[in-house]
Structure 1
Amino acid sequence: MSVPVRKQVMWWGIAALVLFVTMWLLGQAILPFLLGAGIAYMLDPIADRLERMGLSRTMAVVVITAGAVLMLAAVILLIVPILLRQATALIETAPEMFDQARIFVTSRFPEMVPEGGTVGSALKDLRESMGEQLGKLASTLLGSVRGVLGVVALFVIVPVVTFYLLLDWDRMVAKIDGLLPREHAATIRRLATEVDGALSGFVRGQGLVILILGTWYSLALAFVGLPFGFFIGIMAAVLSFIPYVGVLIGGATAIGVALFSFWGDPVWIGAVVVIFAIGQVVEGNYLQPKIVGGHVGLHPVWLLLALSVFGALFGFVGLVLAVPLAAAVGVLARFMTERYLESPLYTGKSPPPEPAPPLLVELAPRGTLAAELHEAYLREEEEDERIADAQGGMANRQG
């Protein structure tokens, strides 16, 4: 007998509550393991492809690990120092840029910024607090990351967890599949496949888009000689996972810096505009449709909501888990919508009755029934004769 739906909902609700409480209480402790699992999930297709090429699973994981270590070392030694240096310089120069913008607007359009007016005061306050606030934000973010991850967790625990999870990934998936409740195994597999499609399509596809755009923006802006161009290009590319946000913020920052640095030389200002225009055209017409595709199912507004909600609830752990949880919740919401559209609550009709049990029909050669009836008739005659003979013999004995 199947478990009632109400009891199933209760048990699954308790499991979800336990998961959220665990994340809330142990989030900082389990964060390195979550990061390791996420990296292993992203690298598993590469390991599978290397296995199909003839390598063993262990050798495939070793090759991936060596490549990842080399790439990480290159990023830390070559890219991170440039980003930090340019970000610090941009933060320090921002108040001067706002000063120049205020002087320009005041001299050209004095009626827009009256002396002592609200707009002028706002610009002045913004100029004075820009460097301080951005500096506090950067130091707070870096401090929280150091507090959450720690040097040991970042450079030891995460790589080790990633290595072993990637080594046993397929076995773990098979083991989890074997533990699924049999009654709902097919439905859970379907939902898990949809979550995997949405998550992998977004993370891997958007990661490749960010890599391409970051390379184009940073190198092109550096080529035209834009100050802080490398940092602005990387920032615009990273923010491109939200449509139009990356190009708007990065483009506005780049054009503002270009106006401040190349004033009187419109050719280079136009070159900065053209760089972002080309990036936007290529991203919208080729990169997003061809690489990410329309099957992802993670709407930008839904993703922003997930980042805000899970970040507020679980801090940095919530930000790490926001994308996979958003993908899972989105798939579950679509599944529940499908069930609702099929339910009597939406259709207004009672569900169809349960089908009758199947009738077992046995096929036999022609004449089988007649032969069986004839045999039964003969057996019945023989039985009647035997009974008559027995009754006659009993009567003779009594006589």
Structure 2
Amino acid sequence: MALPVRQQLKYWGIAFAIFAVVLWFLGDVLLPFVLGSAIAYALDPVADRLEKWGFSRAAATATITIACIVLFIVVLLPAARMLVDQLTQLFSIAPELFLDLRAFLTEKFPTLMSEGGALHSALASIGDTIKQKGGTVVETALTSVGSLLNILMLFLIVPVVTVYMLLDWDRMTAKVDDLVPLDHKETIRHLAREIDGVLAGFIRGMGSVMVILGTYYAVLLWLVGLQFGLVVGVAAGMLTFIPYVGAIVGGGLAIGLALFQFWGEWWWIVAVWAIFQSGQFLEGNVITPRLVGDSVGLHPVWLLLALSVFGALFGFIGLLVAVPLAAALGVIVRFLGQQYKGSKLYLGYSAERDGVEK
């Protein structure tokens, strides 16, 4: 005898509450496993493609692992080192850079920087804050992530978890499918396929767009000699998942730095502007349509809400699970909306009368 719907909802509600409590208390412990699972999920289509070419699952996993190690050593490690160097330099010279900015504005726009003016007072207040707290920014950022031991453990555990998850991904999904309640198997499979489509479109598609644009901006800004161009390019790429925000924030920062650094050399300022204009053209007309298309289904406002809520509740681990949970909730809400439109609550008695009349 099947359980009543009310009983099923009660049990699933208890399971969700247990999941939330575990996430709350064990978020830092679960971080490497969530990261490893996310990376394995993103790489699973590559392993499937290699299997179609005749590789075994173990051989496909080994090939992907070796390729990732080579990519990390040859490309990512030097780029990460340059990025850390620029961030450290930015934090260390921020007070001096701010004083130079005030002097620059005072020289070029004396009317805006008159003594006692609103802009002068605001900049003075910001400068005092940087002097007082700028030295603790790096320390605070490091302590918020965790100790050095935790960071080392993160780099050690995540690759191991990724390899094992990628190796056993198909078997694990088959096991989960086997545990789905029989009465709801087809419905849950349908929802799971839709959630997977949304996640694939966002994590794999938008992730690729973010990497491509971040690399494009960072490399070109570095080539034109813009100070902190690597940091600006990476920040613009990371914000690309919010339409126009990455280009506006990154472009504003880059052009502002270019005006400060290349004042009088207008061709370099125009070059920085052209980099972001061309990046936006490529994103809108070539990269996003090919890699993402119209299948994402995650509205930017819904995504920002999920990131804010889960980040506030569960910290960094909440930011990681926000995207899949937002995708799942979005699919479930759309499914419930369709069910509602076919119910008597929506149709009322008018549908029955129409049926009788026909």
Normalising by structure 1, report the TM-score.
Answer: 0.82
SS in structure 1 at match of 2:240: helix
Question: How many angstroms apart in 2 are the aligned matches of 1:155 and 1:341?
Answer: 49
Q: After TM superposition, give the deviation of residue 93 of structure 1 in Å.
A: 4.0
- Cα distance in 1 for partners of 2:341, 2:3 equals 24
2:176 matched residue in structure 1: 176
The amino acid across from 2:188 in the alignment is I
How much has 1:161 moved relative to structure 2?
1.5
Q: CA RMSD in A?
A: 2.2
Q: Which residue of 2 aligns with 1:210?
A: 210
Secondary structure of the residue that 2:349 maps to in structure 1? coil
* Aligned partner letter, 1:24: W
* Rounded Cα–Cα distance in structure 2 between residues aligned with 1:153 and 1:328: 30
Give the match for residue 82 of structure 1: 82
Q: Residue in 1 aligned with 2:240?
A: 240
Instruction: Indicate conservation of the 8 Å contact 1:42/1:204, yes or no.
Output: yes
Which structure has the larger Rg over C-alpha atoms?
1
Would you say 1:303 and 2:294 are equivalent positions? no
Match of 1:266 in 2: 266
Q: Provide the residue aligned with 1:13 in structure 2.
A: 13
The residue number in structure 2 matching 1:315 is 315
1:236/1:68 CA distance change after superposition, 3 Å = same
Partners of 1:216 and 1:61 lie apart in 2 by 29
User: 1:3 offset after TM fit, Å?
Assistant: 2.2
Which residues of 2 match residues 289-368 of structure 1 at below 5 A?
Answer: 289-349=289-349
Distance 1:133 1:72, change over 3 A: farther
Structure 1 residue 73 displacement after superposition: 2.7
Distance in 2 between residues matched to 1:310 and 1:149, nearest whole Å? 26
Instruction: Choose 296-305 or 285-294, whichever is displaced more.
Output: 285-294
Q: Which residue of 2 aligns with 1:200?
A: 200
Q: Offset at 1:227?
A: 1.6
Does the aligned pair in 2 maintain the 1:259–1:269 contact within 8 Å? yes
Residue deviations 1:41-72 (CA, integer Å, cap 9, x gap) = 11111111111101111111111111122222
The percent identity for this pair of structures is 52
Relative to structure 1, the CA distance from residue 7 to residue 330 in structure 2 (aligned partners, 3 Å threshold; closer, same or farther) is same
**C-alpha distance in structure 2 between counterparts of 1:222 and 1:176, whole Å:** 47
Q: Is the 8 A contact 1:106 1:113 kept in 2?
A: yes
Contact 1:51-1:57 at 8 Å conserved across structures: yes
Partner of 2:124: 124
**1:240 aligned counterpart, secondary structure:** coil
The Cα shift of 1:219 comes to 1.8
CA change 1:63–1:195 in 2 (3 A) is same
Report matched runs for 1:17-28 at 5 Å. 17-28=17-28
**Bigger shift: residues 308-317 or 120-129:** 120-129
What secondary structure does 1:176 align onto? helix
1:99 CA displacement: 3.5
Q: SS at the partner of 2:49?
A: helix
Structure 2: how far apart are the matches of 1:307 and 1:72?
A: 28
Partner AA of 2:2 in structure 1: S
Are 1:288 and 2:283 an aligned pair? Answer: no
Q: How many residues align?
A: 352
Determine the structure 2 residue equivalent to 1:191. 191
Q: Structure 1, residues 259-283: CA drift from partner, whole Å, max 9, x if none?
A: 1111111111111111111111111
* 2:196 maps to amino acid: D
Give distance in 1, aligned partners of 2:148 and 2:2: 45
Displacement, 1:211?
A: 2.0
| 1:100-126 deviation line (CA, Å, top 9, x unaligned) | 444454456555444224432211111
**In structure 2, what is the Cα distance between the partners aligned to 1:350 and 1:160?**
60
| Aligned-partner Cα distance in 2 for 1:170–1:2 | 30
Q: Which deviates the most, 73-82 or 172-181?
A: 73-82
Distance in 1 of aligned mates of 2:260 and 2:296: 40
Structure 1 gap ranges (5+):
353-399
1:220 aligns with 220
What per-residue deviation string (whole Å, max 9, x for no partner) do you get for residues 184-234 of structure 1?
011111111111111111011112112221222122112222122222212
Q: Distance in 1 between matches of 2:132 and 2:305?
A: 28
Letter in 1 for 2:249: I
Given that 2:94 and 2:134 are in contact with CA atoms closer than 8 Å, whether structure 1 keeps it comes out as no
- The structure, 1 or 2, with the larger RCO (C-alpha pairs under 8 Å, 6+ apart) is 2
| Separation in structure 2 between the aligned mates of residue 232 and residue 149 of structure 1, nearest angstrom | 29
Uncovered stretches (5+) of structure 2, i.e. residues with no partner: 353-358
Structure 2: which amino acid aligns with 1:254? A
The SS at the match of 1:297 is coil
Distance 1:107 1:152 in 2: 48
CA positional deviation for 1:135: 5.2
* Contact 2:91–2:138 (8 Å) recurs in 1: no
- Counterparts in 2 of 1:41-60, with a 5 A limit? 41-60=41-60
Query: Structure 1 pair 43/302, CA: closer, same or farther in 2 (3 Å)?
Result: same
Q: In structure 2, what residue type is equivalent to 1:28?
A: D
Give CA deviations for 1:149-171 in whole Å, capped at 9, x if unaligned.
81443232222211111111111
Which residue of 2 is the match for residue 253 of structure 1?
A: 253
User: Counterparts of 2:257 and 2:111 in 1: how far apart (Å)?
Assistant: 25
Pair 45,134 (structure 1): closer, same or farther in 2 beyond 3 Å: farther
Per the normalisation by structure 2, the TM-score is 0.91
CA contact (8 A) 1:247 1:280 kept: yes
